[in-house]
Structure 1
Amino acid sequence: MAAMMTFTRLSNEEKYERFMQRIEAGEKIEADDWMPDEYRMTLIKLIAMHAVSEIMGALPEKEWVPKAPSLRRKLGIMAKVQDEMGHGQLLLRVAEDLLAPLGKTREDLIEDLLNERLKFHNVFHMPAPTWADAGLIGWLVDGAAIMTQTNMLDASYGPYARALKRICAEEVFHAQHGESIILALAEGTKEQKEMLQEALNRWWEALLMFFGPPTADTTGTSKQDITIKYRIRTKTNEQLRQDFFTKYVPRIWALGLKIPDETMHFDKEKGQWIYRQPDWEKFKQIIRNNGPKSQERLELRRTAYKQNAWVREALSAVRTAG
């Protein structure tokens, strides 16, 4: 109690200094701990975007539940969709604790998504017209997500780090599910192989964009630097992209697929992959909800949110009565 009273008497500068000492010592910050506004807002933006991306990310694969080629495949992709929605709800709960001091709830985040104030991940604005697309989402998109999320498994914010441990464990199964689809197609008929190549061509640029631009804007200020400063993550966007290439490019080639980038190669002297940069202006348009499927998927969520309002109201009444 005495220590708490002493802490409250400190200036904001002194509180910040103690906070950074805890960060640098590897301590976990909890929801009811003091934290600087920059840290709180960075976490809210990151976790909220992650949460709604899990929810919106279920939609491209949801389209394939009734169209999957076998009962086993239908059950597999249905389970994956359920997992992704569960991840979204888990992360909304983590974000809610950070929002509470600001007088906001998870409902505010969902409304921000539906009113286009909250962005979701660029890959989930893209179409998935074939079964090969569904496989690539599981294999390469979820593979990229695993790399991003494992980079934050030791995040300084304890609730997020603990949620990620569960999410990453399930994402491994999702990636294996996608890889199973891809291997079946790669070993299939000529038409199936062509369908797989076309899907890779369609998704390659979006996969490059997955990790974000080398810097967050044209001013030279990088938002990723803030997350690294606070030890929310350890690697930059470009380091993660290079890790993705190292793991997946040889596997893609091994399947007899061609990467739609004739410049793609590993430079031994530089120790890095050389590749053609995606169109980052296009990326900005996509995440502003001007992508191929942005409005269609947002409208689907708006309709579902409106139609299921009675469920939220019933649950709210139960909580109040309890």
Structure 2
Amino acid sequence: MYHYLEHQKGSKTNEDPILYDNFMQRIENGDKIEANDWMPAEYRDTLIKLISMHGISEIMGALPEKEWVPKAPSLERKLAIMAKVQDEMGHGQLLLRVTEDLMKPYGRNRQHLMEDLLSGRLKFHNVFHMPTKTWADAGMVGWLVDGAAIISQTNMLDASYGPYQRALQRICKEEVFHAQHGESIIMALAEGTEDQRKILQDSLNRWWPSLLMFFGPASAETTGSSKQEITIKYNIRKSTNEELRQAFLDKYMPRVFSLGLTVPDETMHYDDVQEKWIYQQPDWNEFKLIIQNKGPRSKARLKVREIAYSNNSWVREALAVAGGDRP
């Protein structure tokens, strides 16, 4: 059976040239493509890979914070982080529904996506392979990881694929609250005791490489793979990986410094001539290992999903018996 993850990108092979040219004209005119519209295979497969990775990352991203629900320092903090976890799971379900519509021509559904995740075929975001060792990490995920996500996702708020664009409208609004939740934790620690400030600085030091990796490599040469050119060509996104990373640094470096925090990079500075931040590149070889599920918490996080998938198989079976068409 044809598998979308094995499709060769970057070609119009076997596409009707008239249909393709009309499609590209719609893209250039700013039209929104809908699920039942004709679209080239490259466009469909790019969307499937992008949106499924986004959706799965929302679900996997809830796990690091879920670990801190029972350990949050107050009832108010427990309720806040529980609400955030619930939101992230909802985002994941919404995005997987969007992906499912795109996969219908291939005879695939959400069950196949979960199987791809557990088999390692479907990747999730590098940041969610990392451990959350302290309460400061829970704040760091909300403040800087979700902050990076907002920059990435708002870059696609006018995406050419209508269902994804509309889903992002809702998701981005909720992510703003998540970032404010994380900032609240960070501010409390920054204004706390010396030990709390040390915990906060240690958290930033540990998360910094992952935050730089968040937006992906600047070019395909760095890791041997980059899909940014295709997503820009089809007006799914507007900016390159490096442009997004620079936007993140523009927004957050002044805030980091205003709290008296530092980043573990002595080369970090803003170059007035080049009008950009100069920074030390993260280890992209490590990035490749992480997204191959060889990160510090990759196996543990996947095991949680595997157990949940197995324990809830009866729900899928009950729906199938009742005539439901969504596993």
Matches for 1:133-212 after TM superposition, within 5 Å = 133-212=137-216
Amino acid at match of 1:48: S
Residue aligning to 2:283 = 279
CA distance in 2, matches of 1:168, 1:316: 34
CA distance in 1, matches of 2:182, 2:226: 33
Matches for 1:221-300 after TM superposition, within 5 Å = 222-300=226-304
Whether contact under 8 Å (1:50, 1:91) holds in the other structure is yes
1:164-213 CA-to-partner distances (Å, cap 9, x unmatched) read 00100100000000000000000000000000000000000000000000
Q: Compared with structure 1, are the counterparts of its residues 189 and 297 closer, same or farther at alpha carbon in structure 2 (3 Å cutoff)?
A: same
Q: Secondary structure at the match of 2:277?
A: strand
The alpha carbon displacement at 1:316 in A equals 3.5
Matches for 1:121-132 after TM superposition, within 5 Å = 121-132=125-136
The alpha carbon displacement at 1:307 in A equals 0.6
The counterpart of 2:82, out of the listed 78, 93, 104, is: 78
Matches for 1:57-72 after TM superposition, within 5 Å = 57-72=61-76
CA distance in 2, matches of 1:311, 1:203: 37
Q: Secondary structure at the match of 1:66?
A: coil
Q: Which residues of structure 2 form unaligned runs of 5+?
A: 1-14
Residue aligning to 2:110 = 106
The alpha carbon displacement at 1:310 in A equals 1.3
RMSD: 1.3
Q: Secondary structure at the match of 1:266?
A: strand
CA distance in 1, matches of 2:319, 2:153: 31
Whether contact under 8 Å (1:139, 1:182) holds in the other structure is yes
CA distance in 1, matches of 2:222, 2:85: 36
Matches for 1:34-49 after TM superposition, within 5 Å = 34-49=38-53
Whether contact under 8 Å (1:31, 1:98) holds in the other structure is yes
Whether contact under 8 Å (2:59, 2:89) holds in the other structure is yes
Whether contact under 8 Å (1:215, 1:223) holds in the other structure is no
Whether contact under 8 Å (2:222, 2:284) holds in the other structure is no
1:221-240 CA-to-partner distances (Å, cap 9, x unmatched) read 74200000000000000000
The alpha carbon displacement at 1:219 in A equals 8.8
So what's the TM-score if we normalise by structure 1?
A: 0.94
The alpha carbon displacement at 1:218 in A equals 5.2
So what's the TM-score if we normalise by structure 2?
A: 0.93
CA distance in 2, matches of 1:175, 1:316: 39
Whether contact under 8 Å (2:129, 2:296) holds in the other structure is yes
1:35-54 CA-to-partner distances (Å, cap 9, x unmatched) read 00000000000000001000
CA distance in 1, matches of 2:324, 2:89: 25
Amino acid at match of 2:113: L
CA distance in 2, matches of 1:162, 1:294: 31
CA distance in 2, matches of 1:149, 1:92: 16
Amino acid at match of 2:299: Q
Percent identity of equivalent pairs: 70
Q: Secondary structure at the match of 1:261?
A: coil
Counting matched residue pairs gives 311
CA distance in 2, matches of 1:218, 1:58: 29
The alpha carbon displacement at 1:216 in A equals 3.2
CA distance in 1, matches of 2:251, 2:123: 28
Residue aligning to 1:6 = none
